[in-house]
A and B are shown apart, each in its own frame.
Chain A
Protein backbone atom coordinates (compact mmCIF):
# COMPACT_ATOMS: atom_id res chain seq x y z
CA UNK A 1 0.00 0.00 0.00
CA UNK A 2 1.32 3.43 -0.97
CA UNK A 3 2.39 5.43 2.09
CA UNK A 4 1.36 9.04 2.55
CA UNK A 5 3.88 11.61 3.80
CA UNK A 6 3.38 12.92 7.32
CA UNK A 7 3.42 16.64 6.47
CA UNK A 8 3.21 17.95 10.00
CA UNK A 9 6.10 15.78 11.26
CA UNK A 10 8.26 17.02 8.41
CA UNK A 11 7.53 20.66 9.12
CA UNK A 12 8.04 20.21 12.86
CA UNK A 13 11.40 18.56 12.27
CA UNK A 14 12.36 21.27 9.79
CA UNK A 15 11.50 23.92 12.36
CA UNK A 16 13.51 22.01 14.97
CA UNK A 17 16.51 21.93 12.65
CA UNK A 18 16.27 25.67 11.97
CA UNK A 19 15.75 26.67 15.61
CA UNK A 20 18.54 24.36 16.79
CA UNK A 21 20.94 25.93 14.27
CA UNK A 22 19.90 29.42 15.36
CA UNK A 23 20.25 28.48 19.04
CA UNK A 24 23.70 27.02 18.42
CA UNK A 25 24.93 30.39 17.12
CA UNK A 26 22.91 32.81 19.26
CA UNK A 27 22.27 31.26 22.64
CA UNK A 28 25.69 31.03 24.35
CA UNK A 29 26.49 34.73 23.83
CA UNK A 30 22.96 35.74 24.83
CA UNK A 31 23.15 33.79 28.10
CA UNK A 32 26.61 35.20 28.88
CA UNK A 33 25.10 38.66 28.42
CA UNK A 34 22.33 37.72 30.86
CA UNK A 35 25.00 36.81 33.44
CA UNK A 36 26.02 40.42 33.82
CA UNK A 37 22.37 41.56 33.95
CA UNK A 38 23.35 44.74 32.14
CA UNK A 39 20.55 46.88 30.72
CA UNK A 40 19.77 46.40 27.05
CA UNK A 41 20.81 48.89 24.38
CA UNK A 42 18.24 51.67 24.54
CA UNK A 43 19.35 53.12 21.21
CA UNK A 44 17.79 50.16 19.45
CA UNK A 45 14.20 50.36 18.35
CA UNK A 46 12.07 48.48 20.93
CA UNK A 47 10.57 46.35 18.16
CA UNK A 48 14.02 45.26 17.02
CA UNK A 49 15.26 44.73 20.57
CA UNK A 50 12.31 42.75 21.91
CA UNK A 51 11.75 41.07 18.57
CA UNK A 52 15.27 39.63 18.60
CA UNK A 53 14.92 38.57 22.25
CA UNK A 54 11.64 36.81 21.43
CA UNK A 55 13.23 35.06 18.44
CA UNK A 56 16.23 33.85 20.50
CA UNK A 57 13.90 32.68 23.25
CA UNK A 58 11.54 30.90 20.85
CA UNK A 59 14.46 29.10 19.13
CA UNK A 60 15.85 27.97 22.50
CA UNK A 61 12.50 26.81 23.88
CA UNK A 62 11.22 25.08 20.73
CA UNK A 63 14.35 23.08 20.01
CA UNK A 64 14.75 22.11 23.70
CA UNK A 65 11.15 20.90 23.98
CA UNK A 66 11.34 19.07 20.63
CA UNK A 67 14.49 17.28 21.83
CA UNK A 68 12.78 16.27 25.05
CA UNK A 69 9.67 15.07 23.24
CA UNK A 70 11.58 13.21 20.49
CA UNK A 71 13.87 11.50 23.00
CA UNK A 72 11.08 10.58 25.36
CA UNK A 73 10.23 7.24 23.86
CA UNK A 74 13.82 5.96 24.00
CA UNK A 75 15.27 7.83 26.96
CA UNK A 76 12.08 8.63 28.85
CA UNK A 77 13.23 12.23 28.99
CA UNK A 78 9.74 13.52 29.82
CA UNK A 79 10.05 12.01 33.26
CA UNK A 80 13.60 13.41 33.58
CA UNK A 81 12.32 16.81 32.47
CA UNK A 82 9.56 16.65 35.05
CA UNK A 83 12.16 15.82 37.71
CA UNK A 84 14.35 18.72 36.51
CA UNK A 85 11.35 21.09 36.79
CA UNK A 86 10.68 19.79 40.27
CA UNK A 87 14.30 20.38 41.24
CA UNK A 88 14.13 23.87 39.70
CA UNK A 89 11.10 24.70 41.89
CA UNK A 90 12.84 23.34 45.00
CA UNK A 91 15.98 25.42 44.29
CA UNK A 92 13.80 28.49 43.60
CA UNK A 93 11.94 28.09 46.89
CA UNK A 94 15.20 27.44 48.78
CA UNK A 95 16.64 30.70 47.46
CA UNK A 96 13.66 32.55 48.95
CA UNK A 97 15.16 31.79 52.34
CA UNK A 98 18.74 32.67 51.40
CA UNK A 99 19.23 36.46 51.73
Chain B
Protein backbone atom coordinates (compact mmCIF):
# COMPACT_ATOMS: atom_id res chain seq x y z
CA UNK B 1 0.00 0.00 0.00
CA UNK B 2 1.41 3.40 -1.03
CA UNK B 3 1.70 6.26 1.40
CA UNK B 4 2.88 9.87 1.14
CA UNK B 5 5.23 10.98 3.87
CA UNK B 6 7.23 14.14 4.51
CA UNK B 7 10.83 13.40 5.44
CA UNK B 8 12.81 16.24 7.04
CA UNK B 9 16.54 15.70 6.93
CA UNK B 10 18.94 17.75 8.99
CA UNK B 11 21.84 18.68 6.74
CA UNK B 12 25.23 20.09 7.52
CA UNK B 13 27.71 21.49 5.00
CA UNK B 14 31.23 21.55 6.53
CA UNK B 15 32.51 23.99 3.88
CA UNK B 16 30.01 26.72 4.72
CA UNK B 17 29.26 25.41 8.28
CA UNK B 18 25.61 25.81 7.42
CA UNK B 19 22.94 23.73 9.18
CA UNK B 20 19.61 23.34 7.37
CA UNK B 21 16.52 21.13 7.24
CA UNK B 22 15.67 19.74 3.81
CA UNK B 23 12.07 18.54 3.47
CA UNK B 24 11.01 16.02 0.83
CA UNK B 25 7.54 14.66 0.06
CA UNK B 26 7.85 11.02 -0.96
CA UNK B 27 5.32 8.44 -2.09
CA UNK B 28 6.47 5.10 -0.70
CA UNK B 29 5.44 1.58 0.28
CA UNK B 30 4.61 0.80 3.93
CA UNK B 31 7.38 -1.79 4.14
CA UNK B 32 10.06 0.58 2.88
CA UNK B 33 12.73 1.68 5.32
CA UNK B 34 14.25 5.09 5.97
CA UNK B 35 17.39 3.85 4.19
CA UNK B 36 15.33 2.94 1.10
CA UNK B 37 13.92 6.46 1.05
CA UNK B 38 17.37 8.09 1.34
CA UNK B 39 18.66 5.88 -1.50
CA UNK B 40 15.61 6.85 -3.57
CA UNK B 41 16.16 10.57 -2.89
CA UNK B 42 19.82 10.36 -3.93
CA UNK B 43 19.18 8.24 -7.03
CA UNK B 44 16.04 9.91 -8.38
CA UNK B 45 15.83 13.39 -6.81
CA UNK B 46 19.53 14.35 -6.88
CA UNK B 47 19.36 15.11 -3.15
CA UNK B 48 23.09 14.37 -2.61
CA UNK B 49 22.57 13.50 1.07
CA UNK B 50 25.62 12.02 2.76
CA UNK B 51 25.07 8.98 4.97
CA UNK B 52 26.67 5.61 5.72
CA UNK B 53 25.20 2.21 4.97
CA UNK B 54 26.39 -1.22 3.91
CA UNK B 55 24.54 -4.48 4.60
CA UNK B 56 20.94 -3.12 4.69
CA UNK B 57 20.00 -5.85 7.21
CA UNK B 58 21.07 -4.64 10.69
CA UNK B 59 24.32 -6.57 10.77
CA UNK B 60 27.03 -4.03 9.95
CA UNK B 61 25.84 -1.19 12.23
CA UNK B 62 26.78 1.53 9.70
CA UNK B 63 23.46 3.31 9.17
CA UNK B 64 22.78 4.72 12.64
CA UNK B 65 20.78 7.99 12.78
CA UNK B 66 18.18 9.80 14.88
CA UNK B 67 14.69 9.12 13.52
CA UNK B 68 12.03 11.23 15.26
CA UNK B 69 14.41 11.82 18.15
CA UNK B 70 15.38 8.18 18.72
CA UNK B 71 18.73 6.61 17.79
CA UNK B 72 18.03 3.74 15.40
CA UNK B 73 19.38 1.82 12.41
CA UNK B 74 17.83 3.30 9.27
CA UNK B 75 17.78 -0.07 7.48
CA UNK B 76 15.44 -1.55 10.08
CA UNK B 77 13.20 1.47 10.67
CA UNK B 78 10.06 0.87 8.60
CA UNK B 79 7.66 3.51 7.34
CA UNK B 80 4.68 1.53 8.64
CA UNK B 81 5.92 2.22 12.21
CA UNK B 82 6.31 5.97 11.66
CA UNK B 83 3.90 8.92 11.38
CA UNK B 84 3.51 10.91 8.13
CA UNK B 85 6.04 13.50 9.31
CA UNK B 86 9.50 12.02 9.84
CA UNK B 87 12.64 13.81 11.00
CA UNK B 88 16.03 12.26 10.34
CA UNK B 89 19.09 13.72 12.05
CA UNK B 90 22.68 12.61 12.58
CA UNK B 91 23.39 10.50 15.69
CA UNK B 92 23.53 12.56 18.88
CA UNK B 93 26.69 13.03 20.96
CA UNK B 94 29.08 12.77 18.00
CA UNK B 95 30.55 15.59 15.92
CA UNK B 96 28.89 15.78 12.51
CA UNK B 97 31.16 15.41 9.48
CA UNK B 98 28.48 16.09 6.85
CA UNK B 99 24.66 15.61 6.78
CA UNK B 100 24.04 12.27 8.53
CA UNK B 101 27.68 11.19 8.73
CA UNK B 102 29.21 11.48 12.21
CA UNK B 103 32.72 10.98 13.54
CA UNK B 104 32.63 7.99 15.91
CA UNK B 105 36.42 7.69 16.38
CA UNK B 106 36.28 8.72 20.03
CA UNK B 107 33.79 5.99 20.90
CA UNK B 108 35.55 3.38 18.74
CA UNK B 109 38.81 4.12 20.55
CA UNK B 110 37.13 3.15 23.81
CA UNK B 111 36.94 -0.41 22.50
CA UNK B 112 40.70 -0.69 23.03
CA UNK B 113 40.18 -0.09 26.75
CA UNK B 114 37.96 -3.16 26.89
CA UNK B 115 40.87 -5.40 25.76
CA UNK B 116 38.53 -7.13 23.29
CA UNK B 117 40.61 -10.29 22.81
CA UNK B 118 41.68 -13.37 24.70
CA UNK B 119 45.31 -14.31 25.05
CA UNK B 120 46.55 -17.86 24.69
CA UNK B 121 50.12 -16.92 25.62
CA UNK B 122 49.85 -17.97 29.24
CA UNK B 123 48.10 -21.26 28.48
CA UNK B 124 50.69 -24.00 28.32
CA UNK B 125 48.34 -26.83 27.31
CA UNK B 126 48.42 -27.94 23.66
CA UNK B 127 44.87 -29.35 23.90
CA UNK B 128 42.09 -27.48 22.08
CA UNK B 129 40.16 -25.21 24.41
CA UNK B 130 36.59 -26.44 24.50
CA UNK B 131 33.53 -24.36 25.28
CA UNK B 132 30.35 -26.04 26.47
CA UNK B 133 26.89 -24.70 25.49
CA UNK B 134 26.46 -23.45 29.08
CA UNK B 135 29.73 -21.52 28.87
CA UNK B 136 28.70 -20.08 25.49
CA UNK B 137 25.33 -19.00 26.90
CA UNK B 138 27.08 -16.67 29.38
CA UNK B 139 28.62 -14.54 26.65
CA UNK B 140 26.13 -14.97 23.83
CA UNK B 141 23.99 -11.92 24.54
CA UNK B 142 26.85 -9.43 24.77
CA UNK B 143 28.65 -10.98 21.79
CA UNK B 144 25.79 -9.78 19.54
CA UNK B 145 27.10 -6.20 19.65
CA UNK B 146 27.60 -4.78 16.13
CA UNK B 147 29.34 -1.55 17.28
CA UNK B 148 26.62 0.59 15.74
CA UNK B 149 27.23 3.26 18.45
CA UNK B 150 23.51 3.89 18.99
CA UNK B 151 24.11 3.31 22.72
CA UNK B 152 26.71 6.10 22.84
CA UNK B 153 24.24 8.29 21.01
CA UNK B 154 21.59 7.62 23.68
CA UNK B 155 23.89 7.88 26.72
CA UNK B 156 23.46 11.19 28.60
CA UNK B 157 26.70 10.64 30.53
CA UNK B 158 28.71 10.29 27.30
CA UNK B 159 26.97 13.43 26.04
CA UNK B 160 28.51 15.54 28.80
CA UNK B 161 31.75 13.57 29.28
CA UNK B 162 33.31 11.90 26.25
CA UNK B 163 36.07 10.37 28.40
CA UNK B 164 33.51 7.89 29.78
CA UNK B 165 34.28 4.37 28.54
CA UNK B 166 30.66 3.95 27.47
CA UNK B 167 28.14 1.13 27.03
CA UNK B 168 29.43 -0.78 23.98
CA UNK B 169 33.02 -1.00 25.24
CA UNK B 170 31.85 -2.23 28.65
CA UNK B 171 29.48 -4.76 27.10
CA UNK B 172 32.38 -6.00 24.97
CA UNK B 173 34.57 -6.21 28.06
CA UNK B 174 31.86 -8.21 29.84
CA UNK B 175 31.67 -10.58 26.86
CA UNK B 176 35.38 -11.34 27.09
CA UNK B 177 35.32 -11.49 30.86
CA UNK B 178 32.68 -14.24 30.71
CA UNK B 179 34.65 -16.19 28.08
CA UNK B 180 36.23 -19.35 29.50
CA UNK B 181 39.13 -18.84 27.03
CA UNK B 182 39.99 -15.51 28.62
CA UNK B 183 42.99 -14.94 30.86
CA UNK B 184 43.20 -11.15 30.77
CA UNK B 185 40.68 -10.52 33.54
CA UNK B 186 43.09 -8.57 35.78
CA UNK B 187 44.24 -6.14 33.08
CA UNK B 188 40.70 -5.71 31.78
CA UNK B 189 39.31 -4.96 35.21
CA UNK B 190 42.15 -2.46 35.83
CA UNK B 191 41.07 -0.68 32.66
CA UNK B 192 37.35 -0.76 33.43
CA UNK B 193 37.77 0.42 37.02
CA UNK B 194 39.93 3.41 36.03
CA UNK B 195 38.72 6.97 36.58
CA UNK B 196 36.95 7.07 33.18
CA UNK B 197 35.56 3.58 33.58
CA UNK B 198 32.30 2.08 34.74
CA UNK B 199 31.95 4.31 37.84
CA UNK B 200 30.71 7.18 35.68
CA UNK B 201 27.61 5.26 34.62
CA UNK B 202 24.43 6.53 36.29
CA UNK B 203 22.33 3.57 35.11
CA UNK B 204 19.89 5.61 33.07
CA UNK B 205 19.25 2.56 30.87
CA UNK B 206 18.78 4.44 27.57
CA UNK B 207 21.58 2.43 25.96
CA UNK B 208 19.73 -0.85 26.48
CA UNK B 209 16.51 0.75 25.28
CA UNK B 210 17.95 1.68 21.86
CA UNK B 211 20.19 -1.35 21.25
CA UNK B 212 19.03 -3.08 18.03
CA UNK B 213 20.59 -6.41 19.09
CA UNK B 214 19.24 -6.57 22.70
CA UNK B 215 22.75 -6.68 24.11
CA UNK B 216 21.58 -4.88 27.31
CA UNK B 217 24.79 -2.91 27.90
CA UNK B 218 23.29 -1.19 30.98
CA UNK B 219 23.07 -4.51 32.77
CA UNK B 220 26.58 -5.45 31.65
CA UNK B 221 27.92 -2.20 33.14
CA UNK B 222 26.19 -2.82 36.49
CA UNK B 223 27.59 -6.35 36.63
CA UNK B 224 31.05 -5.01 35.82
CA UNK B 225 30.66 -2.47 38.64
CA UNK B 226 30.00 -5.28 41.11
CA UNK B 227 33.01 -7.19 39.78
CA UNK B 228 34.96 -3.94 39.89
CA UNK B 229 34.29 -3.52 43.62
CA UNK B 230 35.52 -7.06 44.29
CA UNK B 231 38.57 -6.44 42.10
CA UNK B 232 39.34 -3.16 43.89
CA UNK B 233 38.97 -4.77 47.32
CA UNK B 234 41.20 -7.65 46.28
CA UNK B 235 43.84 -5.22 45.03
CA UNK B 236 43.77 -3.30 48.29
CA UNK B 237 44.18 -6.43 50.37
CA UNK B 238 46.69 -8.10 48.07
CA UNK B 239 48.34 -5.71 45.60
CA UNK B 240 49.65 -7.74 42.65
CA UNK B 241 52.99 -7.08 40.95
CA UNK B 242 52.50 -5.59 37.49
CA UNK B 243 53.31 -7.89 34.56
CA UNK B 244 55.95 -6.57 32.15
Check A11/B187 contact, CB under 8 A, given A71-B202, A73-B161.
no
CA distance A74 to B232 in the complex (A): 26
- Contact between A10 and B199, CB atoms less than 8 A apart: yes
Question: Max chain B CB contacts within 10 Å: which of A3, A10, A13?
Answer: A10
Interface string of B185-204 (1 = CB under 8 A from A): 00101110111110100101
B160: CB under 8 A from chain A? yes
- Contact between B229 and A6, CB atoms less than 8 A apart: no
Check A3/B233 contact, CB under 8 A, given A13-B199, A13-B225, A70-B202.
no
Residues in B with CB closer than 8 Å to A9 are 193, 195, 199
- Contact between A3 and B236, CB atoms less than 8 A apart: no
Residue of B nearest to A13 (CB): B199
Residues in A with CB closer than 8 Å to B159 are 74
- Contact between B202 and A6, CB atoms less than 8 A apart: no
In angstroms, how far is the closest chain B Cβ from the Cβ of A68? 11
Chain B count of residues within 8 A CB distance of the other chain: 28
Residues in B with CB closer than 8 Å to A4 are 190, 194
- Contact between A74 and B202, CB atoms less than 8 A apart: yes
In angstroms, how far is the closest chain B Cβ from the Cβ of A72? 10
Residues in A with CB closer than 8 Å to B202 are 70-71, 74
- Contact between B160 and A10, CB atoms less than 8 A apart: no
- Contact between B232 and A10, CB atoms less than 8 A apart: yes
- Contact between A7 and B236, CB atoms less than 8 A apart: yes
- Contact between A3 and B235, CB atoms less than 8 A apart: no
- Contact between B194 and A5, CB atoms less than 8 A apart: yes
Residue of A nearest to B165 (CB): A3
Of the residues B156, B161, B232, contact of A7 by C-beta under 8 Å: B232
The 4 closest A-B pairs by CB, nearest first: A10-B232, A14-B229, A3-B194, A5-B193
Name B's A-contacting residues (CB within 8 A). 113, 156-157, 159-161, 187, 189-191, 193-197, 199, 202, 204, 225-226, 228-229, 231-233, 235-236, 242
